[in-house]
Structure formats: structure tokens, C-alpha cells
Structure 1
């Protein structure tokens, strides 16, 4: 095995889509699974704090940086056999989606344009526009830091739920190396569309299929309109995408929430509401933020709400992580005061918290 590339006192901001955060004591870049495991084992054996970085699209790193070893996973590997797809953790997710669509396969076409790497997708159970990776992931290959061995975890044991998994629940245990998917050969057609906005944009009904390439193209256009496709020239994309998850409320909490909504907005007010399992209702974080007075472009400092989408907090070019967190806390407090709902951040925070 060739020596792993290592930098000391290395800037981490350029490795994140926020372009925020201080340096790491040490930054190791691994290009093979063996290198990933070697760096992890060394950190574990020496008791060195370890930060895993993939595409950096879901990270908020504190201004002081990270005291320890940051491991950038830059592995590559795209293998397609029929409908079975294996991606190395370091593969660019959006590019991988494009290749599956070109191959005429369905199942992840509506996840186009999501920034980041393939290895992060099972951790967050990445989802958008009616699809989640949990519907197509067959198994995850990971290094288990507790048992010090490589393990293969089938879908049924990943404990997938909304933006969650066993990997996210136990963040210090697993390092994802590869992700395997089972995709559908539908003759170049998409999976049945499950998101009303996508279907409407395509002029079809929810449940219909369209050419997968059309579904991908439409999703990319919808995302771009919300500043959710990376563009170095567009500060609305200097973000982590959706900063808050959509709240899921119990019957009691939803009843109290509905009362607050009608008290504030009138008896006919109807907030977005979607079934989320027995006795649970999911509502829209974007709607809550907007209705609490935090509209597109809100903010006077270098960290502001996106001009295209209220759910994205952005770095306008000169922000610090503390600027971003101050805005996030203002939004959380405002929504809680208005509606009694506490928003939860979606990105992983390093060295800081809300």
C-alpha cells in the first residue's frame, strides 16, 4: 500500500459546500479502501479524534477547526452488473445517478443533483422528490471500528427511517466503504413518480412513469431553481442544502401545533401535513420558517437565508461558522415562538452546536 497523502494544519473550509470552518491538525486523503481502514485504525490505536469527510455537503465545521485527524475519503469505483450497482464511498453521487439513467435504470433518478459522495447516502438515508436511497440500497460495506473488521450490512439491518439510519444513530462506529443498490430495468422509464411537484412539472399524474432522463432533467431544473445544485458563482448554493429536517409530530403535538397555526394565521389556515406512520404527521420546515417571518433572502449579515429557498442557510462569501449558527439559532427560536415546534438541523456539526 502506498503512503496515504497527509497535510498538517490543513484548511477544511474548501472541502465543504459551506466553505466554512477552521483547519484540521492533520488531513489524510485516502484513495483506496485499504488506505481508509489504515487511517481509521491508526487514529483508533492512538486515541486520536477522527473526522470523516466525503463530499462535505452536510458538514458545519467550527471556526476553530478540528483538533485531530480529518480523513477525506476519495475512493473511486462504479460497477454495474445488470441492475446491481456498487459505488465506492468516494464516488460523486450526482455523477453516479446520471450514469444509471444513461444505462436505462430506474430507482435513483429523482435523487439527481444532490451534492456529496455515495458513502454519505445511507448514513442520512438521502431523499428528495419522492425517492429515498433506502428503497434501492441492498447492502452497505463498512469498516466496524468496534470489532475492527469489514462488515456487510443488508438493508434490513440498516434501520432506515426519515433522514436516519443505524450509521447516523451510532456515528463513531462505522465507516462506509461501499454501497450496493438494486435498480429496476424499466426499459428506460422512471420509477413511478411519487412527488406532486415533479409530476406536475412533467405534465403527468403521481404514480405515472416517464422516461428516466426526463425525470432526472426535471429534478435538476427544480433543484437549480431553489439553489440546490452546486454553482461556485451562485452564493445561494454555498450551503448544505436543506438546513433543517421536516418535523414529525405526534397526534398531541400536531394538535397543539394546529392550534398555534390557527391562532396566528386564522381559523382556515391549513399547514402542510403528510402521514408519517401510525399517529405521526410530518409538516414542512420551509413553510414554518416562512410563516414565522424568515422569508427568502432574510438576514443582514454575511450569512443569510437563500434568495431561492427558505430551507437553505447560505454563506454570502465572507461568513464565519458563528455567523451561520447565529442565523440558525434565530430561525429555530423564531419558529418555536411562533408555532411551538423546534426545528432540528440536518447537517452534522463539528466542534459546535445549535
Structure 2
């Protein structure tokens, strides 16, 4: 294990924001991860887990405690069964499954971060979610001090949520197992309308795996959602807010606000989200509330490519970012009565 003191954390995040940690440990094996967690827990030291850093907003004062960077590696494929170490780079792992001719995560190409973070957030995009293919998660249980294997059902997956996110102090993900599909070189059924249009097929059709992955990468790049050190639109955490899910009564009130503000007959995006609930688009809400692409005058602004991404234009502080986020949340609430919820994890700060 590598150990540093008063270590900068900003370079370990895609926002490139945040102050230093009292101590930074980099672990390259499961045993090192467990040892570092046990040591911190035994001493009562606050612990911050860092993977790819693509879903973290760290305060300018940094983190008083031990930051543990999980840098484990391991890609094991047995037929259609895939096991990834938590520290594996997610987008590289997706590329390797496509090369192997296996379907199930090809539309999750280009998502920054590590494999261990995917079950926590139930990462999803372009019609796929990892919950559809994860079979098991191997984790260290800080409560029982044992390594446990959790089935898909035990992970309690829902939209951008899981058992791990609900109880963030309990589990440390070590490995993730997936059950993929051998569809003779074809993708899973294309579910997302934008992807289907770009591929020139209908929803539910299958296409060559490589074509699905390449199309998703192009769509993401066009929205600034593929990491590029030279492009400040990618100095972000991707989607900063989750798409709101509203109960029927809430959605009816929301539609009324939309008609009042934007004119009779204007319909907001609406997607079924389980009995009695409807999901709408956070990006649409932000745009219609007046926060268009490129909004802002300071070093933290909305992406010039996508209204759902808040970005560091260089030289921003975490407080600059949070001020922009709070402005957007207040503006959307005032306009439509809907309160946006941040997707990234905040450390030492809050909206």
C-alpha cells in the first residue's frame, strides 16, 4: 500500500475540485483494502472511499481522516460470467466485453469511474442499467467485519439507488459479478429512442455490439460525457441531478405549473416509473427554468453541451460549483415546484 499525508484529492476526481485528505492510502489488492478499512474503523477514523472519482464533490477544506483509493485490478471472464475487481476502469471493461462478443453492458460505454461504483449507484444510461446484469456483489461488511456475497435481490436495486447507497457506511465493494448474454455478436435489444434513431433501427432491435458501443460513445461525446482532459465540458460528474420521480398527485401539480409557465398544451417529458409514479427529465426542467447550455459567468458553469452537467471551467472551487447547483435547484423549484436531487456524493459539503 502507498500512504501519503496531507494529500491532494482534487486530481483524483473528474471535477478536479476539493481540498486535501489528512492521509491517502492507495490499495491494490482486496486484502489491502480490507486491512485499511479495518484499521480506520478500529481507530474510529473517518473513512472516504475513492474509486474513479467521477461521482464525488469534495469540499474545499478537504477530508479530515483516511481517504482510501481502491486501485485493485482483475478481469475474469468464464463463458458469459464476468467478474471485475472494484478498481477496474469501467469503460475499459465494457470495451473488453464487446470484444468478447458478449451483450448486456455495451450501452454503458464511456461512463467514467470504476467497476466497484457501478452497483452503488445502479449505473445506467441509454436503456441499460447494471442491475439487469449484476448477479452478485462481493463486499466487506464493516458491521460484521466479514467478506460477504450479496445476490442481485439482496442489493435492493432501484433507479440510481441500491442497498449500498442507502447504507453507505456499511459495505465496501470488492468485486462485482455479471451475467452477460451471448447473442452471436449482437447487442441486447436497443431500448433507448435516441440510440435507436442514431443506429437507424427500431426500439427492441439488436445491432452488432461494436456498432452499439461506438454509437453510444459518439452520443456521449456530443454531450461532453466522455472524459477529455482538454475539454472543460468533461470536467464534471456527468449528470449532476437525477431525473425526478413524482407521485401521480405531484405530477398533476407539476403539469399544471408547466401549462401556467410555458403555455396551455405544453407537455413535460413523462415516463412510466412504477405504479402511481412518473419520471420526468431533469435536463428539460433545467433548460425550461432558464438555465441553458453554457449558463453562468464564473469558473463553474453549466456545460456548453448538456444542461444536466455542471462543470469546472478551470480555477473553480467547490463553493463555486455548489453556488451554481443551488441556483439551479432554487430556479427549478420556483418555476415548476420540483426539487432536484444531486446525483454525486458530497463530502464535507451539501446543497
Q: Could you tell me the TM-score, scaled by structure 1's length?
A: 0.99
Give secondary structure in 2 for the equivalent of 1:110: helix
Q: Paired residue for 1:120? A: 117
Give the distance between the partners of 2:203 and 2:60, measured in 1 at CA: 44
Q: Paired residue for 2:265? A: 268
Please show how residues 153-172 of structure 1 align to structure 2 within 5 Å.
Answer: 153-172=150-169
Q: Paired residue for 1:344? A: 341
- Report the CA distance between 1:245 and its aligned residue: 0.1
Match 1:186 to one of 165, 183, 188: 183
Q: Paired residue for 2:207? A: 210
Match 2:100 to one of 90, 99, 103: 103
Q: Is 1:307 matched with 2:318?
A: no
Give the distance between the partners of 2:128 and 2:97, measured in 1 at CA: 15
Q: Paired residue for 2:280? A: 283
- Report the CA distance between 1:268 and its aligned residue: 1.2
Give the distance between the partners of 2:8 and 2:2, measured in 1 at CA: 15
* Unpaired stretches in structure 1, ≥5 consecutive residues: none
- Report the CA distance between 1:207 and its aligned residue: 0.2
Match 2:34 to one of 32, 37, 44: 37
Q: Is 1:139 matched with 2:129?
A: no
Give the distance between the partners of 1:84 and 1:114, measured in 2 at CA: 21
- Report the CA distance between 1:45 and its aligned residue: 0.3
Q: Paired residue for 1:18? A: 15
Give the distance between the partners of 2:46 and 2:325, measured in 1 at CA: 26
Q: Paired residue for 2:233? A: 236
Give the distance between the partners of 1:344 and 1:51, measured in 2 at CA: 21
Q: Could you tell me the TM-score, scaled by structure 2's length?
A: 1.00
Give secondary structure in 2 for the equivalent of 1:105: coil
Give secondary structure in 2 for the equivalent of 1:185: coil
Give the distance between the partners of 1:318 and 1:42, measured in 2 at CA: 35
Match 2:77 to one of 77, 80, 84: 80
Give the distance between the partners of 1:288 and 1:23, measured in 2 at CA: 35
CA offsets per residue over residues 125-179 of structure 1, 9 Å max, x none? 0000000000000000000000000000000110000000000000000000000
Give secondary structure in 1 for the equivalent of 2:11: helix
Q: Is 1:251 matched with 2:218?
A: no
* Unpaired stretches in structure 2, ≥5 consecutive residues: none
Moved over 2 A (4+): none
Q: Is 1:226 matched with 2:223?
A: yes
Q: Is 1:298 matched with 2:277?
A: no
Give secondary structure in 2 for the equivalent of 1:26: strand
Give the distance between the partners of 1:159 and 1:253, measured in 2 at CA: 25
Give the distance between the partners of 1:212 and 1:237, measured in 2 at CA: 25
